């Protein structure tokens, strides 16, 4: 088979030299080899990405299947919670006897101002969202990226319930993912009022104190049905750090937060101006007139 040639003029000699056409085109065959290698590398990258994605799907499916079912909570109160068991284990490790003070009550046995105070403090959009406040979650994720760690913010009341019932208090991404899945299960299985009732009966209100009725008796010596707006605001203000902020702790953050909650209750017309003024005065009286100051870190609950 003949080979095609082309004439190339050499300097000023006037002579020409026949050169193979493929060589004159700059080694087209070599460039094709590089493209083939790049294509092969891209294929491996795609296969690796697909493998990682499938692995993630399998892992999430496995973890989802292991998560507890929320349906039983529609009619039954949990005998214990992950948080109660964690606090008991912490007490045993420190050589102490685990304390548990808890009494279950229905929403009708809790004063309306106390319920309003908790909702406005912890999850003002509780009856509007489906378990996750997407706007607050986005803000919290942006803050976490800036700080390089997960904070407490953006957890709805349902998310807090899921964590208290079934998860630990660590702040890992895996725990947060499980929390979101369990939150969805709670919202699908239970009506809002049942979620609220469960939350108010299992949330921590001091060392060994669980539920709003036990909290009311522990800190004010009366049942939850008799809580005033000021007392409800103080209990609600404890929730970010319930083992540090108590009425007797002298926490300036507690007082500041309680006054803010009363202002919110007035803003949404849960309290009149006169009732809000009286509640502010009651808070000062209950806390001994201590001045507010810088906020404190929460305890990871």
Instruction: Take residue 146 and report the two structure tokens written for it.
Output: 């800036």
d(Cα 116, Cα 113) in Å, to the nearest integer?
A: 5
Res 184 pLDDT > 90: yes
Strands (E), the chain: 5-9, 16-20, 101-102, 209-210
Neighbour count for residue 270 (Cβ, 10 Å): 19
pLDDT in tens, 224-254: 999 999 999 999 999 989 999 989 888 899 9
d(Cα 52, Cα 58) in Å, to the nearest integer?
A: 10
pTM, rounded to two decimals: 0.75
The position carrying tokens 């008799």 is 226
Taking the chain, what is the end-to-end CA distance rounded to the nearest angstrom? 84
Instruction: Take residue 298 and report the two structure tokens written for it.
Output: 């929460």
pLDDT band per the 50, 70, 90 thresholds, residue 289: low
Mean local confidence (pLDDT), 205-211:
96
């Amino acid at each position: 088979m003949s080979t095609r040639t082309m004439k190339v003029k050499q300097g000023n000699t006037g002579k020409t030299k026949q050169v193979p056409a493929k060589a004159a085109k700059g080694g087209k065959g070599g460039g094709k080899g590089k493209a083939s290698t790049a294509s092969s590398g891209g294929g491996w990258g795609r296969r690796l990405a697909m493998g990682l994605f499938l692995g993630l799907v399998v892992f999430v499916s496995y973890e989802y299947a292991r998560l507890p079912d929320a349906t039983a909570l529609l009619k039954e109160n949990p005998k214990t919670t992950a948080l109660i068991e964690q606090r008991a284990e912490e007490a045993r490790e420190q050589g102490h006897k685990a304390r548990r003070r808890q009494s279950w009550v229905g929403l009708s046995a809790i004063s309306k101002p106390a319920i309003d105070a908790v909702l406005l403090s912890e999850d003002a959009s509780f009856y509007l969202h489906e378990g996750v406040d997407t706007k607050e979650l986005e803000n919290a994720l942006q803050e976490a990226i800036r700080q390089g760690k997960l904070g407490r913010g953006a957890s709805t009341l349902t998310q807090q319930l899921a964590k208290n019932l079934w998860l630990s208090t660590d702040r890992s991404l895996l725990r947060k993912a499980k929390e979101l899945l369990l939150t969805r299960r709670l919202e699908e299985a239970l009506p809002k009022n049942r979620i609220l009732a469960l939350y108010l009966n299992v949330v921590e209100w001091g060392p060994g104190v669980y539920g709003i009725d036990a909290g009311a008796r522990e800190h004010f010596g009366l049942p939850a049905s008799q809580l005033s707006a000021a007392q409800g605001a103080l209990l609600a203000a404890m929730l970010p750090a319930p083992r540090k902020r108590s009425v007797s702790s002298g926490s300036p953050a507690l007082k500041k937060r309680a006054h803010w909650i009363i202002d919110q209750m007035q803003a949404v017309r849960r309290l009149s101006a006169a009732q809000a003024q009286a509640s502010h005065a009651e808070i000062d009286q209950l806390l001994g007139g201590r001045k507010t100051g810088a906020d404190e870190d929460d305890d990871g609950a």
